[in-house]
């Protein structure tokens, strides 16, 4: 028996945290919330729950089926891992934001109608931006501001599509959409913006590296993967998504080549890996949908390991650039962190016995079965780039690297706090477990799985690909180090647009206003003086009629004197009586 939507377990928990004063109880609560949510999921049968009438519509807060459950399971698991990683933080506002973020994501997963979906979609954007702002640097404040503007714009596009859909169909059901309609195109735009599909992706690589160390771990798991979920729910088989996803997979890899910031490099690989999922959605077959769902599940686990590993490095050293880390022999001082990071690196690179090999190759195989060789080739090329940079270049540059001069030593480097290592260990274990024993993952996928990743041809082919990539890295190792450069991406356009708007308002419009004000200032002063002495205007008119030459400034500057313009009361009373007399005659005749 289920009594409360999983989303509200997190939201209520977030509201309780500020009320608890004892730190250990707060820590226990943030770990207990995911445990309660997971128990709730395990005991949640398939069906429709928590339906409410709103005006003439039915709101559905709990549509439970295999597709929603596979995402719900990994979201709840990741929330527990993220809280373990962040348990040492004393600033509990971050935990409140994270719990709202997770809760709203679960609200999206179980939403059965478009109104409920939109509400949780917007809460997700607002809650997550605080994980960026809590870093409290100028860069994080600016990145967070851009992040929330982009997502609110996407929310407006989604809302526009929902309104058009409801007006034209009369239904608010969240289900498969007809891509040929105008409403569906607006809704798709809102979804792919959250999925970080180029050119709508720059918010991700901009904001994630600027977030707090622990906040970035949460952000890697929820926004883009919830977007994959809604695409699976509403737009499977749309051909546009096939090409967008394949291009996306390559785009992220190409930009990762250029990056020096360690978390920004990983952020671009999020874009690349989500490209596999978007491509799987577009392919639309049962295997492709299974592959996209499985890859979302696996990606959340291994990407969390990668971001937690880099977060641990930043936490210990205070440095975020490969050029500031290479050649310092961190592998001697942080061997456990390195080993756990490499589990995530092998997983994202689809090394056999790790979970990325199970899910990533399923999408490639689905493209092959549908006879899409160009798409399959693009995905393989993206896989090569992933191993080259996440599995080889990044760990080499951070933990090893070649000294290029008299690099300063980083003092007091040691392993991060135990809770951070424990969280990495849990996620790394799950990466290996689901890679070695994929049946546990296959059993929760939307459709029956008839794919065998450990067929000899798959294993040999992938090992050959990895070994050739390793050989290329070893040959060009001197040229693959970090470069202290800044890469321009599509965010340049809206940054320049924003600066253009500021210039237009501050320089152009303000200049016009100042010019007009300057040219009319004397007239404004004269009108102000006339308003202080209304009789001046009448005197000017009379003098002009009589042809008297009186200086304008003498009249304007003359102060008002009530004795000069006072009229005897008898004249006014007589005028009033005459007016009322004629008014009375008029009404008598009219009657």
pLDDT (tens digit per residue) in 445-502: 999 998 889 988 889 988 998 999 899 888 877 766 656 566 677 777 777 877 788 7
Task: Count other Cβ atoms within 10 Å, centred on residue 589.
Answer: 7
Confidence of residue 550 (pLDDT cuts 50, 70, 90): low
For position 1, what pLDDT does the model report? 43
Confidence of residue 153 (pLDDT cuts 50, 70, 90): very high
Between the CA atoms of 348, 351, 354 and 360, what dihedral angle is there, to the nearest 10 degrees?
Answer: 60
> Which residue from 218, 270, 227, 263 is spatially nearest to 80, judged by alpha carbons?
218
Q: Taking a C-beta distance cutoff of 8 angstroms, is the pair 33, 71 a contact? A: no
For 85, the enclosing helix (H) or strand (E) is helix 66-86
- 58: β partners: 53
178 pLDDT higher than 60: yes
For position 475, what pLDDT does the model report? 83
Alpha-carbon distance values, 56 to 110, 170, 511, 540 (Å): 21, 10, 52, 68
Average pLDDT over residues 367-383: 92
For 130, the enclosing helix (H) or strand (E) is helix 114-133
Average pLDDT over residues 418-437: 96
557 pLDDT higher than 50: yes
Read off the tokens for 242.
């096939």
Average pLDDT over residues 542-559: 62
* Measured distance CA(463)–CA(457) in Å, rounded: 10
* Measured distance CA(28)–CA(49) in Å, rounded: 29
Confidence of residue 328 (pLDDT cuts 50, 70, 90): confident
For position 410, what pLDDT does the model report? 75
Read off the tokens for 248.
């996306």
The CB-side HSE value for 396 (13 A sphere, CA atoms) comes to: 20
Q: Taking a C-beta distance cutoff of 8 angstroms, is the pair 224, 194 a contact? A: yes
> Which residue from 215, 445, 199 is spatially nearest to 308, judged by alpha carbons?
215
* Measured distance CA(19)–CA(82) in Å, rounded: 22
Q: Taking a C-beta distance cutoff of 8 angstroms, is the pair 398, 495 a contact? A: no
- Domain map of the chain by residue range? 1-233, 236-483, 494-590
DSSP 8-state class, residue 60 = E
* Measured distance CA(163)–CA(187) in Å, rounded: 10
Coil vs helix vs strand at 55: coil
For residues 590 and 134, which has the higher predicted lDDT (pLDDT)? 134
Q: Tens digits of per-residue pLDDT, 79-103? A: 999 999 999 998 889 999 999 999 9
For position 554, what pLDDT does the model report? 58
187 pLDDT higher than 80: yes
Alpha-carbon distance values, 457 to 338, 358, 452, 506 (Å): 31, 14, 11, 64
Least confident of 1-5, 257-261, 287-291, 548-552: 548-552
* Measured distance CA(503)–CA(501) in Å, rounded: 5
Q: Taking a C-beta distance cutoff of 8 angstroms, is the pair 66, 100 a contact? A: no
Which are the contacts of 547, defined by CB distance < 8 A and separation ≥ 6?
none
Q: Taking a C-beta distance cutoff of 8 angstroms, is the pair 165, 187 a contact? A: yes
Which are the contacts of 450, defined by CB distance < 8 A and separation ≥ 6?
287
Read off the tokens for 491.
């965010």
For position 70, what pLDDT does the model report? 96
Average pLDDT over residues 130-146: 93
Place of tokens 């979609």: 121
> Which residue from 153, 92, 335, 128 is spatially nearest to 217, judged by alpha carbons?
128
268 pLDDT higher than 80: yes
% of the chain beyond a pLDDT of 90: 62
Longest C-alpha distance within the chain, in Å? Answer: 117
Share the mean pLDDT of the chain.
88
Task: Count other Cβ atoms within 10 Å, centred on residue 314.
Answer: 18
pTM across the whole model: 0.85
For residues 47 and 529, which has the higher predicted lDDT (pLDDT)? 47
Confidence of residue 39 (pLDDT cuts 50, 70, 90): very high
């Amino acid at each position: 028996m289920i009594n409360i939507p999983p989303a509200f377990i997190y939201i209520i928990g977030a509201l309780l945290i500020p009320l608890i004063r004892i730190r250990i109880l707060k820590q226990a609560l943030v770990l207990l919330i995911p445990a309660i949510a997971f128990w709730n999921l395990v005991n949640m049968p398939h069906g429709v729950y928590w339906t409410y009438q709103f005006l003439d519509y039915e709101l559905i807060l709990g549509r439970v089926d295999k597709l929603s459950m596979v995402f719900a399971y990994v979201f709840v698991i990741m929330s527990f891992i993220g809280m373990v990683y962040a348990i040492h933080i004393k600033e509990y506002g971050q935990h409140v934001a994270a719990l709202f973020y997770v809760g709203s994501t679960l609200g999206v997963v179980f939403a059965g109608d478009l109104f409920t979906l939109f509400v949780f979609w917007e809460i997700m954007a607002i809650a997550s931006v605080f994980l960026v702002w809590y870093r409290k640097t100028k860069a994080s404040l600016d990145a967070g501001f851009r992040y929330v503007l982009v997502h609110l714009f996407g929310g407006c596009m989604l809302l526009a599509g929902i309104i058009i859909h409801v007006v034209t169909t009369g239904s608010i059901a969240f289900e498969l959409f007809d891509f040929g309609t105008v409403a569906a195109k607006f809704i798709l735009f809102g979804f792919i913006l959250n999925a970080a599909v180029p050119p709508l992706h720059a918010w991700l690589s901009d904001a994630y590296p600027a977030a707090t160390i622990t906040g970035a771990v949460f952000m890697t798991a929820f926004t883009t993967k919830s977007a994959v979920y809604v695409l699976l729910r509403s737009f499977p088989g749309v051909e546009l998504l096939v090409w967008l996803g394949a291009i996306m997979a390559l785009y992220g890899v190409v930009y990762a080549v250029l990056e020096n910031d360690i978390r920004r490099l990983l952020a671009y690989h999020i874009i690349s890996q989500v490209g596999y999922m978007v491509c799987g959605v577009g392919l639309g077959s049962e295997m492709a949908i299974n592959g996209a769902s499985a890859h979302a599940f696996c990606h959340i686990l291994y990407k969390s390991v990668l971001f937690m590993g880099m977060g641990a490095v930043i936490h210990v050293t205070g440095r975020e650039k490969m050029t500031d880390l290479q050649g310092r022999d961190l592998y001697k001082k942080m061997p456990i962190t390195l080993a756990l990071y490499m589990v995530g690196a092998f997983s994202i690179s689809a090394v056999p016995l790790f979970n990325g090999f199970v899910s990533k190759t399923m999408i490639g195989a689905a493209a092959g079965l549908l006879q899409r060789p160009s798409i399959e080739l693009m995905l393989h090329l993206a896989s090569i780039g992933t191993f080259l940079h996440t599995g080889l270049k990044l760990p080499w540059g951070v933990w090893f690297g070649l000294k290029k001069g008299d690099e300063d030593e980083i003092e007091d480097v040691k392993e991060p706090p135990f809770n951070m290592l424990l969280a990495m260990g849990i996620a790394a274990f799950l990466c290996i477990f689901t890679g070695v024993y994929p049946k546990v993952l296959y059993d929760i996928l939307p459709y029956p799985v008839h794919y065998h990743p450990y067929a000899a041809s798959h294993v040999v082919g992938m090992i050959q690909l990895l070994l050739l990539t390793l050989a290329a890295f070893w040959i060009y190792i001197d040229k693959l180090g970090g470069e202290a450069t800044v890469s321009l991406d599509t965010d340049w356009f809206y940054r320049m647009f924003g600066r253009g708007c500021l210039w237009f308002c501050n320089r152009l419009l303000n200049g016009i206003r100042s010019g007009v004000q300057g040219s009319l200032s004397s007239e404004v002063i004269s009108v102000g003086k006339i308003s202080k002495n209304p009789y001046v205007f009448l005197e000017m008119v009379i003098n002009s009629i009589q042809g008297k030459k009186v200086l304008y400034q003498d009249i304007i500057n003359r102060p008002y004197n009530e004795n000069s313009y006072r009229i005897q009361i008898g004249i006014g009373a007589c005028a009033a009586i005459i007016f009322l007399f004629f008014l009375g005659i008029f009404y008598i005749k009219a009657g």
